[in-house]
Chains A and B, each alone.
Chain A
Amino acid sequence: MDFNDSPEEAAFRDEARAWLAAHAPAHEIPPGAKMSDTEEAARGRAWIRELYEGGWSGLTFARELGGRGASGIEAVIFAEEEGRYHLPKGPFVSIGTGMALPVIARHGTEDQKARFVEPTLKGEITWCQLFSEPAAGSDLAGLRTKAVRADDGSGDWIVNGQKVWSSWAHLTDWGILVVRTDPTVPKHKGLTFFLVDMKTPGIETRPIRQISGASEFNETFLTDVRIPDANRLGAEGEGWACCMTVLMGERLGSGAHRSGIATLLDYAAATPDGHGGTMLDDGAVRQQLAEALAEEQGERFFQARLRTMVSKGENPGALAGMVKLAYASRYQRTSGLALELRGLAGIAGEAGDSATGDVQYDYIYSTVMRIAGGADEVLRNQIAERVLAMPGEVRMDKDVPFEKLTG
């Protein structure tokens, strides 16, 4: 066991660090800087382009696809080094490289790989995800957006329905879309996966006003949207397998967030306790923050174990969901605690109190973390069933054709 870089890894880190030092500062967005979504997305594209020209875009993708052919550990090292800068790296980047490209690389035709992989790695194509629907979230396979063949003999598909929670759909170029193409078979079997140009007539995105005050998520309405058959990914009825490829990427990625207990220690230390000390002297606060810190470290080292498994060619499977499950609840608990330890000023900070603003945002955003990319309850089921080999849930809709389901 060695937690440190091997000599090869250290050399890779040095190379990444030197390149970033020369290229990243020009692309940085200072924390707290205000800019429009459009501006941020444009800055994001420019950074991807820079990465591509430097040979750092699509690190783990094969060289013949335009990537670097790097190992998973090297991708982690690069992400650590890149994380030292405040770069424009929103979902418009990660959905492309973390979701769209893996599914295209695995299920796509040679033509599709040629059309999409390299342009995405260059920042010429950005992506959104069109999966969830108002009535299909954790039970994604219950989705209702449907596609039928056009009756003009073109082989095109005509799509109608509604998608929701599609991050940045209003500013991205293409979407990964899963729809129902056969309602006569059980729900998982009648799905088909498409790549859809977001400029196609009939696609309308509307921002959702979120509880955070921001609107990065959208609802997307699809009305008689025509998709050429050449943009179908995988065979008809293979949509569920494609979704699984995407969601595995989402889960491995979701655990990578940090809520920064160290920041909360500073926050407590900057809050008076009324007895001449700070809230970091308060026994209850100390206990809770220390327990959270122990969890945060455990998550970090568990990630390291999972990465080691991946680097040895083992599949962590449902173990990957454990980090996200632990992280999301802790994030909510500790940001809630931080607001509490601040006293009433945690509820209404003064204009310059950006630390309180951050904590408030974290407490609001933590609700998303417990739902997106596998809700807590879904992850617990998966861990119980796939790690502990406990029985699956009772499924009332098993083996029933989708069109016969009630509700």
Chain B
Amino acid sequence: MNFDLSDEQKMLGEQARALLADLSPFDRLRQLIDSNADWDEPLWRALAEMGFLGAAIPEEHGGLGLGALDLGVIMEALGAANAAVPFMSSIILGAEAIRLAGSDAQKAAWLPRLASGEAVATFAYAEGPGPVFATGTKLEGGKLSGSKFPVADAGVADIAVVLVAGSDLALVDLDQPGVRRTKLDSFDQLRPHYRLDFDAATADPMPGRGKLDQLIDQAAVQAAFEAAGAAEACLFMARDYALERQIFGRSLAGFQAIKHKLADVAVATELARSNAYFGGWAAQSSPDDLPAAAAAARLSGIKCFEMAARENLQVHGGIGYTFEANCHFYYRRERMLAVHLGNRGFWASRLLAAQPGRQGQVA
């Protein structure tokens, strides 16, 4: 057993963090919100240039052919920076859906363009309030009808992988007359969501069936990496603020009420990261372990980031409620990440169903 990242993976994570520290400081996030931007396009171009977008896309399709753990260290860095880029939508979900379920022609057409950042994909699964993996959208004779919302990053996406009736997937070019995009009022101001209405839109069915579970399990692992990175950023932000802040004649960080709270956040973060590591390893090397590993990673990821985002703002006190402080980016992002890909209840059921002897028993 060697349960640690490789030196190359650690270096990859450091490169990603360095790039994000340089290009995506908090003032940049404020600027994006103030300008009502859909994304941080220059950052996306820089991520493409570094090869990060194509990290896990096969070499034959213009990527680097790396694995889930390599993607994971990039996701951890993106989570820590609270970056305003559609990496989850375009790479973790869009490109991976095409790799898993797409035809050779679909792969050849889109994977190289997604790897280079020239095109952006998103994954359209929810249909309004209720369970997020909804299948009320109909695909008949190559024409798609129905509505998907909210859909992350649909303002900048060229294509959407759409979850349709029968849990099938279809590839839809978003720049066509049969598709209407409406921007929604998004809780996470740095990840705008849209409503997509399809009126007999031309759609290209994806031939690989039954790939949805693997797709979302893999994405759940990546979401846990993202959550652990974000939680750790909140933890350090709270710690650093407390160290600096003087109160009652001493450092705020010296009070047990603060120390113990942050120790609990640190523990939750390490448990989530450990589950993410195992999930990444399972995704790469032990597919039978993936369903349970992904659900555990997802649940512990939600938990640690929830604790961290809330307590970070709390430790800051009143200043944390201001736009000038940086707590709010994470406080909003956390709720978005907690519900995308299915909420706690959804993943609790998947985790229990994945236990030995309880296969498929979902209440």
A interface, CB within 8 angstroms of B: 1-6, 9, 73, 262, 265, 277, 280-281, 283, 286-287, 289-291, 293-295, 297-302, 304-305, 307-309, 311-312, 319, 322, 325-326, 377, 379-381, 383-385, 387-394
Contact = CB atoms under 8 A, between A and B. Distances in A.
Interface stretch (B2-10, B58-66, B84-92, B103-111): B2-10
Q: How large is the interface on B (under 10, 10 to 19, 20 to 34, 35 or more residues)?
A: 35 or more
B6 A1 contact: yes
Given A281-B363, A381-B256, A304 B267 contact: no
A302 B1 contact: no
B260 A1 contact: no
7 smallest CB-CB distances across A and B, nearest first, come from: A298-B271, A290-B348, A384-B259, A301-B274, A294-B299, A383-B263, A302-B274
Given A308-B1, A309-B4, A388 B262 contact: yes
B348 A298 contact: no
A377 B264 CA distance: 11
A280 B348 CA distance: 12
Contact of A301 (B3, B254, B347, B358): B3
B292 interface: yes
A4 B1 contact: yes
Contacts of B260: 377, 380-381, 384
Interface string B275-304: 101101100011000001101110110010
Interface stretch (B139-147, B184-192, B235-243, B332-340): B235-243
24 contacts: A1-B69, A2-B281, A3-B3, A3-B281, A280-B363, A287-B345, A290-B299, A294-B299, A294-B300, A294-B303, A295-B271, A297-B278, A301-B274, A301-B277, A302-B270, A311-B2, A319-B270, A381-B259, A384-B259, A384-B263, A387-B266, A390-B243, A390-B262, A391-B254
B352 interface: yes
Nearest to A392: B254
B326 to A, nearest CB: 19
B267 A3 contact: no
A376 B120 CA distance: 48
A383 B267 contact: yes
B115 interface: no
A380 B2 contact: no
Nearest to B348: A290
Interface of B: 1-6, 9, 69, 235, 239, 242-243, 250-251, 253-254, 256, 258-260, 262-264, 266-267, 270-272, 274-275, 277-278, 280-281, 285-286, 292-293, 295-297, 299-300, 303, 344-345, 347-349, 351-352, 355-356, 358, 363
Given A302-B271, A305-B277, A388 B239 contact: yes
Nearest to B259: A384
A299 B271 contact: yes
A307 B3 contact: yes
Contacts of A311: 2
Nearest to A288: B348
A391 B3 contact: no
A32 B356 CA distance: 25
B1 A2 contact: yes
Contacts of B277: 1, 301, 305
Nearest to A262: B355
Task: Identify the interface centre among B6, B275, B303: most chain A CB within 10 Å of its CB.
Answer: B275
Contacts of B6: 1
B266 A383 contact: yes
Contacts of B263: 325, 379-381, 383-384, 387-388
A191 B303 CA distance: 43
Contacts of A302: 270-271, 274
B200 to A, nearest CB: 40
A6 B1 contact: yes
A325 B268 CA distance: 11
B363 A297 contact: no
B144 to A, nearest CB: 34
Which of A280, A383, A393 neighbours the largest number of chain B CB atoms within 10 Å of its CB? A383
B78 to A, nearest CB: 20
A287 B243 CA distance: 36
A281 B353 CA distance: 12
Nearest to A312: B4
A298 B272 contact: yes
B253 A326 contact: no
Contacts of B280: 1
B238 to A, nearest CB: 10
A215 B217 CA distance: 48
Contacts of B266: 322, 383, 387-388
Nearest to A385: B259
B355 A73 contact: no
Contacts of A291: 299, 303, 344, 348
B228 to A, nearest CB: 11
B348 A286 contact: yes
B275 A286 contact: no
Contacts of B4: 1, 305, 308-309, 312
A297 B296 contact: yes
Nearest to B243: A390
Contacts of B349: 286, 290
A112 B260 CA distance: 41
Contact of A286 (B285, B356, B363): B363
Nearest to A281: B363
Contacts of B1: 2-6, 9, 73, 304, 307-308
Contact of A388 (B9, B235, B251, B281): B235
A92 B9 CA distance: 44
Contacts of A9: 1
Most buried by B among A281, A298, A381: A298
